[in-house]
Chain A
Amino acid sequence: MSIKIENVRKSFGNFHALDGVNLEIPSGELVALLGPSGSGKTTLLRILAGLEAADSGRILVEGRDTTEDHVRERQVGFVFQHYALFRHLTIFENVAYGLRVKPRATRPDKDYIHSRVTELLKLVQLDWLGDRYPAQLSGGQRQRIALARALAVEPRLLLLDEPFGALDAKVRLELRHWLRRLHDDLGITSVFVTHDQEEAMEVSDRVVILNAGQIEQVGTPEEVYDAPATPFVHEFLGLTNLFTGHLRQEVLAAGRNVKVTEETALDDKQGAHAYVRPYDFEVSLQADGEDYIPAELRFAQTIGNIVRLQFIIPGREEPVRVELEKTKFRALRVGIGAKLFLKPRHVQIFVKDRKDAAWAGTGS
C-alpha cells in the first residue's frame, strides 16, 4: 500500500508539531521516522493512523484521499509504545478483539476466529500463553502480543510508535530483527517511529529524519549516514566533533580526504562547519606533515574492544573525542597527559548558506 503525504501541517496551540511535511512511502517498504523528541515524528504517525487530524494537507493511500476517513475505516494496524493491551481480557481475547468487533455481516465465525488467533499467536511464537492475562507477561512478550493483535484484522499498513522504547536493551535487539523478518514475510507496508538512530539504521529500508516539524532528509540508512544533507542529520546520527571556521580554497584543493557537500558559492572566507567522527582520527606520536594537529590526552576509557579518548587542542574549549581500537592504543604506549598528534581521515564539511537558514545556526 503506497502512501503519499502532501504538505501536512499540525499545531498544538503555538507549537508547530508538523510544518509542511511531504513524503512518499512506496508499497512494501519498512520506513523509520527518526528524530529527537518534539520533532513531530509521533504526530505524523498518528495522523497516518487517523488518531490525529491534520490542520491542513492530504494523505493519499494508493492515490485515494483518506484525510477524512475515520480510524476504524483505515485498515491500519497500530502498535503503541506501552502496548495498550486490554488487561481484563486474556491474551487470546486480546488478539481476537479486532475480529470480534467486526460488523455482524463480516464477522467471522467462532472456528475461524479460533484458528486465526492460534495462527497469529504461533507467528509471534507465544501460542502457549493464550489463557494468561497481560499482567502475567514480560514487556517483550506483551509487545509481541500487541503486534499480533494489530495484525489480526489484516491491516494494509502497520504503524509502530516507538515499539521497543520501553524494553531492555537485549530484548530490544531481538525484537528488532524479528520485526524485520516479520515485515518481509508478511509483505505489508510498515512505518515505525524511533528516536534511536541505531535502531532506525538497522531495521529500515529507508530512514526519514525529522527535526522541528520538518523533514531533514529521506534516504537509505547508508545514504543518510554517508551523505547527510544537513549538519543536524550528521550530528543526530552519532557522536561527532564539530570544528567551526572559514573554508579556504587551498584546503578544498588540497582536500584529498575532505568531502564537500556544498560546493556552491565558496568564496575565500566562507563560514563552515567541519565534522569529524571519533573513529575518523589517526593518532600518532609524531607529526608527519602539516595536516597533524597537536593534542594532549586528557581522558581514556576502555569499553570492550574500543578505547574512548578525549584530547585537548590549544585554542579550543571542547575536548576532541577520539575512538581507537584497543590494540592500536596499546601500541602507542602512552598515558594521560601525553602530547600526541591527531589527523582527521575524513571530514564532513557544511558551508553556511545564507539562503538556507534551516541549518545556518547549527553547531556550538
Chain B
Amino acid sequence: MPFSFKKRSVLPGFGLTFGYTLFYLSLIVLIPIGALFLKSSTLTGSEFWATVTAPRVLASYRITFGAAFIAAFFNLFAGLLIAWVLARYEFKGKSILDALVDLPFALPTAVAGIALTTVFSVNGWLGKPLNALGIHVSYTPIGIIVAMIFISLPFMVRTVQPVLEDLEKELEEASATLGATRLQTFRRVILPVLTPSLFTGFALGFARALGEYGSIVFIAGNMPMKTEITPLLIITKLEQYQYAEATAIAAVTLIISFVLLLFINWVQWHNRRKYSL
C-alpha cells in the first residue's frame, strides 16, 4: 500500500480545508512568530543571553509568570464555584449573572485597568478598607494578580460550565445509592470528570494572564524589579529602539509559554487515553 498522509474518510474536502488551515495558520501565527525569532537572531549568542538574563528581565519573568500562575490558580476555585452555580441551580437573574461572566472578554483592557485602579487605589471603595487592614493592592504585585484574575476568569467559567451541565445525573445518584456522602460524591465522582476541563481552563487563563498588558500597567505602578511585567519591558525596549532585545525577551516568553501549554496538553491527552480507549 502506498504511503498516504490522509486516512480514508467519507468526509469530502480534506485537501481544500487542510490547505486553507495551513495557509491561514502560517499567515496569522507562524509567519509573525518566525519574524520574531528572525529579528532576535540578529543578536549574537552572548548578547542574546545577556539580554534575556539581565536582572531586570529576570525579575519581570518572575513577577509575570508568578502572578499569572497565582491568578489562574485562584480562578481554578472561583471559576469552578461560579460555573457550578450557573450550571446547577435555577434562580432569578441567572441570565444577567451569566452575561456578567463574559464582561472581561468584551471590556477594553485599558478600561478594566482604570476601573480596577480607581476601586483599589488608596482612597477607592475597596482600596480604603483594605489599606486600613494593611493590604496594599494598587502599585504592588497584588494589583497585578487582581488584574490577571479579572481578565482570565471567563476562560475558567466557560470551559467548566458546559462539562458540569452535561454531567450525568445518574452518576451522582449511583454514588448516593452506594452510600456515599455528598462530599465523597463530589470528590470521587464529579471532580475526576471535571479535571480535564479544569486543566484546560487553567491553561487558557494562565496564557491569557501572561499576555495581558492593558489593564495591568494602570494598577501595577511599573516599578522596575518590583512590579514591572514582561510585556511592559518589551514595550519599553521597543520605545528605546532596541528591537532585537525586545524580540529576544519576547521569544523567551513565547518558548516558556509554549512549553507550559504543551505540557498541559500532554497531561490531557494522557488522561483521555487512560479512561476511554
Min CB–CB distance A188 → chain B (angstroms): 15
Does B181 make an interface contact (CB < 8 A)? yes
Contacts A72-B180, A87-B275, A133-B274 given; does A80 touch B174 at CB 8 Å: yes
B174–A72 touching, CB < 8 Å:
no
- Which residues of chain B (34-83) have a CB below 8 Å from chain A? none
A149–B178 touching, CB < 8 Å:
yes
Min CB–CB distance B199 → chain A (angstroms): 14
Instruction: Tell me which residues across on chain B come within 8 A of A82, comparing CB atoms.
Output: 168, 170
* Identity of the chain A residue whose Cβ is nearest the Cβ of B274 in the assembled complex: A133
B177–A87 touching, CB < 8 Å:
no
* Identity of the chain B residue whose Cβ is nearest the Cβ of A102 in the assembled complex: B179
Does A71 make an interface contact (CB < 8 A)? yes
Min CB–CB distance A97 → chain B (angstroms): 6
Instruction: Tell me which residues across on chain A come within 8 A of B193, comparing CB atoms.
Output: 87-88
Q: State which of B92-100, B140-148, B184-192 sits at the interface with chain A.
A: B184-192
What is the CA–CA distance of A51 and B178 in the complex, to the nearest angstrom? 12
Instruction: Tell me which residues across on chain A come within 8 A of B170, comparing CB atoms.
Output: 80, 82, 84
What is the CA–CA distance of A232 and B168 in the complex, to the nearest angstrom? 35
Does B29 make an interface contact (CB < 8 A)? no
Instruction: Tell me which residues across on chain B come within 8 A of A149, comparing CB atoms.
Output: 174, 178
Does B175 make an interface contact (CB < 8 A)? yes
What is the CA–CA distance of A149 and B188 in the complex, to the nearest angstrom? 15
Min CB–CB distance B152 → chain A (angstroms): 27
Instruction: Tell me which residues across on chain A come within 8 A of B184, comparing CB atoms.
Output: 101
A to B contact number (C-beta, < 8 Å): 74
Min CB–CB distance B135 → chain A (angstroms): 40
Does B173 make an interface contact (CB < 8 A)? yes
Q: How large is the interface on B (under 10, 10 to 19, 20 to 34, 35 or more residues)?
A: 20 to 34
A84–B178 touching, CB < 8 Å:
no
A84–B181 touching, CB < 8 Å:
no
Does B25 make an interface contact (CB < 8 A)? no
* Identity of the chain B residue whose Cβ is nearest the Cβ of A100 in the assembled complex: B188
Instruction: Tell me which residues across on chain B come within 8 A of A279, comparing CB atoms.
Output: none
Does B4 make an interface contact (CB < 8 A)? no
What is the CA–CA distance of A135 and B274 in the complex, to the nearest angstrom? 10
B177–A49 touching, CB < 8 Å:
yes
Does A286 make an interface contact (CB < 8 A)? no
Min CB–CB distance A70 → chain B (angstroms): 8
- A76-106 contact mask (Cβ, 8 Å, vs B): 1 or 0: 1110101010111100000001100110000
Min CB–CB distance A54 → chain B (angstroms): 17
Instruction: Tell me which residues across on chain A come within 8 A of B254, comparing CB atoms.
Output: none
- Which residues of chain A (128-152) have a CB below 8 Å from chain B? 133, 135-136, 146, 149-150, 152
Does B17 make an interface contact (CB < 8 A)? no
What is the CA–CA distance of A22 and B168 in the complex, to the nearest angstrom? 31
Instruction: Tell me which residues across on chain A come within 8 A of B179, comparing CB atoms.
Output: 72, 98, 101-102, 153
Min CB–CB distance A59 → chain B (angstroms): 15
B192–A88 touching, CB < 8 Å:
yes
B275–A97 touching, CB < 8 Å:
no
**A135: contacting residue among B171, B177, B276, CB under 8 A:** B276
- Which residues of chain A (215-267) have a CB below 8 Å from chain B? none
A86–B177 touching, CB < 8 Å:
no
- Which residues of chain A (145-185) have a CB below 8 Å from chain B? 146, 149-150, 152-153
Contacts A84-B168, A133-B277 given; does A97 touch B178 at CB 8 Å: yes
B177–A97 touching, CB < 8 Å:
no
* Identity of the chain B residue whose Cβ is nearest the Cβ of A82 in the assembled complex: B170
What is the CA–CA distance of A153 and B179 in the complex, to the nearest angstrom? 8
**B178: contacting residue among A87, A88, A153, CB under 8 A:** A153
* Identity of the chain A residue whose Cβ is nearest the Cβ of B193 in the assembled complex: A88
Min CB–CB distance A245 → chain B (angstroms): 48
A77–B275 touching, CB < 8 Å:
no
**A150: contacting residue among B176, B177, B274, CB under 8 A:** B177
* Identity of the chain B residue whose Cβ is nearest the Cβ of A106 in the assembled complex: B179
A136–B177 touching, CB < 8 Å:
no
**A51: contacting residue among B168, B171, B176, B275, CB under 8 A:** B176
What is the CA–CA distance of A78 and B175 in the complex, to the nearest angstrom? 10
**B181: contacting residue among A72, A74, A77, A86, CB under 8 A:** A72
Instruction: Tell me which residues across on chain B come within 8 A of A150, comparing CB atoms.
Output: 177-178
- Which residues of chain B (126-183) have a CB below 8 Å from chain A? 168, 170-171, 173-181
Contacts A101-B184, A133-B275, A133-B276 given; does A86 touch B171 at CB 8 Å: yes
What is the CA–CA distance of A110 and B177 in the complex, to the nearest angstrom? 22
What is the CA–CA distance of A149 and B173 in the complex, to the nearest angstrom? 13
* Identity of the chain A residue whose Cβ is nearest the Cβ of B187 in the assembled complex: A101
What is the CA–CA distance of A146 and B192 in the complex, to the nearest angstrom? 19
Contacts A72-B179, A88-B193, A97-B175 given; does A135 touch B277 at CB 8 Å: yes
* Identity of the chain A residue whose Cβ is nearest the Cβ of B173 in the assembled complex: A51
- Which residues of chain B (228-277) have a CB below 8 Å from chain A? 274-277
B176–A84 touching, CB < 8 Å:
no
Min CB–CB distance A41 → chain B (angstroms): 17
What is the CA–CA distance of A106 and B170 in the complex, to the nearest angstrom? 26
Instruction: Tell me which residues across on chain B come within 8 A of A153, comparing CB atoms.
Output: 178-179
* Identity of the chain A residue whose Cβ is nearest the Cβ of B170 in the assembled complex: A84
What is the CA–CA distance of A77 and B176 in the complex, to the nearest angstrom? 10
What is the CA–CA distance of A72 and B184 in the complex, to the nearest angstrom? 12
Instruction: Tell me which residues across on chain A come within 8 A of B173, comparing CB atoms.
Output: 51, 71, 78, 80, 84
Known: A89-B192, A97-B180, A136-B277. 4 other contacts (CB 8 A): A84-B170, A135-B277, A149-B178, A153-B178
**Can you list 12 contacts pairing A with B, beta carbon distance less than 8 Å?**
A72-B179, A72-B181, A77-B177, A84-B168, A84-B173, A86-B175, A86-B188, A86-B189, A97-B178, A98-B180, A150-B178, A153-B178
* Chain B residues at the A interface, C-beta cutoff of 8 Å: 168, 170-171, 173-181, 184, 188-189, 192-193, 274-277
| List of 4 A-B pairs having minimum Cβ-Cβ separation, nearest first | A98-B178, A84-B170, A135-B276, A101-B180
